[in-house]
Amino acid sequence: MSWITAEAAASRLGVKPQTLYAYVSRGHITARQADGNRRQSLYSAADVAALERRRRGGRARKSVAARTIAWGDPVLESAITTVREGRLIYRGVDAVTLSAKATLEEAARMLIGHEPDAQRASHAATKGETAKARGYAFLAARAAVDAPSLGRRPEHLAAEALDLIGGLGVAFAGANRTNALLHEHLAALWKLDARGGDLVRRALVLVADHELNPSTFAARVAASTGAPIAAAALAGYATLSGPLHGEASARALLFLETAMRDGAEAAVNATLARAERLPAIGHALYPMGDPRAASLLKAIKPSKPLNAAIEAAEAASGDRANIDMALAALTLECGLPRDAPFLIFAGGRMAGWCAHAIEQRATGRIIRPRATYTGD
């Protein structure tokens, strides 16, 4: 494969460097580090040429719409989160760096970008057989009674968002630990030691937001109508429950369990024999590997069998493990229940859902796309 510099790629496409980085983040152009120079990136000449031909030829309106809806071009502006040159950025701050010390609540304040005008309230424990069910019940109850977001000040909405994060922690744990942070609620629920609790804290920050993913888009659509922030969060929570989004770690968990039982090579071969893709490997926004997964796995220090399973999957696919694999590894390493990856994802992503809901309200616009009719 032939590689060219950023200057050459941007010149051929007639775009600014920022636009070139956006093409990389959306999987249109493959990039890699230059040999011997970690500060320089090189770009696939073939990908640049293909994109150049597509731009030169133009695209029909229907083609543009179809490509936009799935890993396509941006559909709205946001100052919250971006993926640039293989890094996840929260309002100008590297998410991996932030996760080293910050709590989810601190990350949420940063993502929301408005200082709350009130303190967190005390929450009663929500009833439900599972933590996931209690999360649904809590958000649904709040969505039914909270005031609409339409016409309210961002500072008030920020306070409501932080209150929702606190209430979700109480709902997950099934008990109110006064002034506890979300990772502390989960650590108490799972009876973790200090190290386990800190790993959960780190994971929550790493998944706090990820640009315009399906659940975040659902939250923005709800908020665009003026619905309560809790309703927007509930829309995100429900969307996250799909097996192709927030439940992706479940498949990774099954793969790792098989590898622990039968051996890494046997688990890989069994997956491929079923004509299935190896789970939680690769990510369209990270051609060089998911930095969230790399950071969390480094902190976890998986056991040799776990590490061997992950490395075998990476070797067989030629790609790197993503955050879903890291959450599955965290689940096994710390002896967490099977729903732990979803709870971590949902708890952390509450910060992003609320931030995007508030940002969407600030635009004053409703999200109402058109469909291409294909019927009789």
Structural domains of the chain, ranges and CATH numbers in brackets:
3-75 (1.10.1660), 95-376 (1.10.580.10)
Which pair of tokens denotes residue 339? 């729903």
For helices 323-333 and 291-300, angle between their N-to-C axes, nearest 10 degrees:
20
Condensed to tens digits (0 to 9), the pLDDT of residues 74-104 reads 678 999 999 988 999 999 999 999 999 999 9
What's the half-sphere exposure (Cβ side, CA atoms, 13 Å) at 68? 14
Rounded Cα–Cα distance for residues 87 and 292 (Å): 9
Q: What are phi and psi of 241, to 5 degrees?
A: -70, -10
Q: Across the chain, where does the E strand assignment appear?
A: 3-5, 31-34, 37-44, 81-84, 87-90, 93-94
pLDDT for res 253: 96
Average pLDDT score over residue span 300-312: 96
CA dist 51 and 46 (Å) reads: 9
Q: 196-202: long-range contacts (C-beta < 8 A, 24 or more apart)? A: 196/334, 199/296, 199/299, 199/300, 199/330, 199/334, 200/330, 200/344, 201/103, 201/104, 202/99, 202/100, 202/295, 202/296, 202/299
Q: Which residue has the tokens 């929570």?
A: 237
Catalytically annotated residues? 245, 283, 324
The tokens for 78 are 């946001």
> For 25-56, what is each residue's pLDDT tens digit?
777 888 887 777 766 788 888 888 888 877 66
Rg (CA), the chain: 21
The pLDDT tens digits of the residues spanning 228-261 come to 999 999 999 999 999 888 788 999 999 999 999 9
pTM over 0.75: yes
Look at residue 14 and tell me whether its pLDDT is greater than 90. Answer: no
The pair of structure tokens assigned to 291 is 């930095």
Rounded to whole angstroms, the Cα distance separating 231 from 357 reads 10
